[in-house]
Structures are given as C-alpha cells and as structure tokens.
Amino acid sequence: MEYKRLTLKKGTEKRLKQGHAWVYSNEVDTKLSPIKSFDAGEQVVICASNGKELGTAVVSPTSLIFARLISRTPTQFLDQSLIVHRLKIALSIRQQVFQADCYRLVFGDSDGLPGLVVDRFGDTLVVQISQVGMELMKQDVIDALDKVCRPETIIVKNNGKMREAEGLESYVEFAKGECEEIRLVENGVDFVIPALTGQKTGWFYDHRMNRARMKDYVKGKRVLDLFSYVGGWGIQAAKFGAESVTCVDSSALALEYVTKNASLNGVEDKVDSIAGDVFEICRQLKEQDARFDVVIADPPAFIPRRKDQKAGEQAYQRLNHQAMRLLSKDGILVSASCSMHLGQDALVEVLRKTGRALEKNVQILEQGGQGADHPILPAIPETHYLKAIFARVLPAQ
C-alpha cells in the first residue's frame, strides 16, 4: 500500500529528533503537503524538509495537533498486529506493579497508542477513543484487547469532550458481553461503579498512589471529601480508620454509589454524604461552624483549555480557600489538580496565597503525582498532568 508523505518545514524536524511525538499544523510544509490533501485518520510517512523519512503518523486535519507519531520506523504502520504488540508491552509493566487486574491498561501516546485509553476492571475493559485515526481502527482495537486480555465484557464509552474537536460522534456501547455494574479493588478496598453512566471510564486510577498515602493522615480523624464522585478518597479514608467521612458531590447517582461502597466495605456507620454544588456546600458548612481534621479537594479540571487559565486558577484559589476555612487546628489539606495547564509550582503558589490570605502557615508535607499505569513521556508535557499536595495548615506564628 502506498502512503502519502507529510513534509515538515525546514528546522521543525528537530522536535521529532529530540523525542517529541506530535506535529502541529504550523509545522507542516503546506506547499509540498497541502492540509486539504489528507483525510481524517489517514496514516502517513513523516519527512524532513530534505526528504529524509522520520517515521509514521496518523493525521487529524482539523486539529492543531495535525499528526501524532505511530512509529519512528518509516515502514511501521498501525494495524492489529502492532496494537497487540503494544498492548502486551503496556500490560507487562501493569502486571509487574499492581497485584490486582485493576489499572489503566492503555494511556494514549504514553503507550504508543495515540487517542486510546483503556481501563481494566478485572474481567471488564472500558475503552475510550478520542482521535479519529483510532476510531477507524476501533474493531482492530477490540479484537486486539480480546486477544491479549480475554475479558468477559468490553464497554466502549466514546462520549468524551475531546471527540467533538475531532468531529466524532458521541456514543456508548457494549462491544462484548453486558453488565450493569463494575467491580474493582484499589489499595485493598472494594468498589462498585455504574457500567455505563459513570464519569469518563467510571473510575480515576490516576490518584491510586496518593490515596494510598492518605492512610497515614486519616486514622481517627473527621474527613471531608469534596468532589467525592463514588467515594474513591472518602471510602478509603473510612476503611483506613477515619472517625467519620462526609462526601460532597453534585451528582445524586455518584452519592448513591458512595452509600453502596460504604456498605460493601462495612463502613456505612462512618460515612454520610451531601448532594449539591461543592462551593455552596462549603459556604453552608462554614456558616454552621463545621470543622474537619482532613479536607480532600480533588476537583475536575478547572483549566480544560489554555484560554481558561485565568478563570481556572481563580477557581482553584477559591476552592482551596474554602477548604482551608473548614479545617480544624493543625488540619491536613489534600489539594489535587488534574489540569495539565496548572503546573505543580502553580498549585503550590495557590496554597501559599491562600494561606497568606487566611493568615495561616502552610507546611507542604508530601507531593504526589500519577501512578505507573499513567506513564509520562518527557517530550509530551501534557502526559504529566496530575498533582496532589498533602499540606498541614497551622495558625500564623
């Protein structure tokens, strides 16, 4: 099969040679490679301005990221065989690090499969595709997963926001088997989540290691879990010995699963929940003079795009301000961010400013990131997105 050549402007090939895996639209030599000459999802050979072949990629003509690298071997293209090979490589490190078959099996570009995310929940796999090239390979992806993992159920949850930018439709379907709920184990704690209606893939494995570290801070403490979803932090806090846990989320369905998961782990007498807007609930709790020894603030991404930077930083500032006001003396704040556009230093700065505004001293005790099932590519800063800071908030001295 003959593949088209995507020629880069002179000098831009340096980024690929340095390990970068994306080609932006303004790096394409549009005289030799007119943008409109490529079809969405087409696989191409990337060439330097001098004609040297640098590798293969899949293109998204309507996206700022025009092409995503598949291989640095100019003759290697994405097919079911390559997908199987890369799934096996991804699986090997997950099985080495995690005892239970509960982890993110595929993390997009980081595992050499751009636009593909797969979460494993034992015998159930949840697949999300966000890139047009991978959507065209969907059946090959399903067949490869079936071959490598032999799951009972495969759910395709193609309803993420990133699909819209690629011109892809939104849908959710069973590709193999059926189920109403999914079981998983994290840090020795059991959970059940809705199969089709949960957020994103249904679970957030990325904070696994941070939730494990929480164990040292919650025993015998009163814990407030903001943006709790189904209780990933809160239920584990209760299981780790917290005196009481209050979960706050805007989703009534999520809080139903908080109750289910509390019962599943025998901690229903420790856990309660409040449904509503988190910022408003925090205000009401402050008015009631409520106090907690540990407050966990793990919100959704407040900065989904660069243009949201200012408003997003203000939202993080506001959230951490409200969280600190609810802490008891010498309380612990777990402040998290999944916004790739908010760096670790920026989150530290949010805590510094908040502490000064409240005339508190903030001691950063630990800083954490994503687990080994969310590997980071140094050449793609966007793959390093998760932050968690464990801080003690003290009276000013």
Active site positions, annotated: 338
Residue 161: partners with Cβ closer than 8 Å, 6 or more residues away: 304
The residue whose two tokens read 């849908």 is 171
Residue 14: partners with Cβ closer than 8 Å, 6 or more residues away: none
Helix axes 278-287, 309-325, angle to 10 degrees: 30
Which of 74, 81, 94, 66 minimizes the C-alpha distance to 9? Answer: 66
Report d(CA 132, CA 337) in Å as an integer. Answer: 28
Report d(CA 94, CA 106) in Å as an integer. Answer: 10
Residue type, 79: D
Instruction: Identify the sign of the CA torsion 65, 66, 69, 72.
Output: negative
**104 in Cβ contact with 133 (< 8 Å):** no
Report d(CA 166, CA 236) in Å as an integer. Answer: 37
**249 in Cβ contact with 229 (< 8 Å):** yes
Helix axes 344-357, 309-325, angle to 10 degrees: 50
The residue whose two tokens read 């993110």 is 104
Per-residue buried b or exposed e for 124-162, using 16+ beta carbons within 10 Å of the residue's own CB: bbbbbbbbbbbbbbeebbbebbeebbebebbbbbbeeee
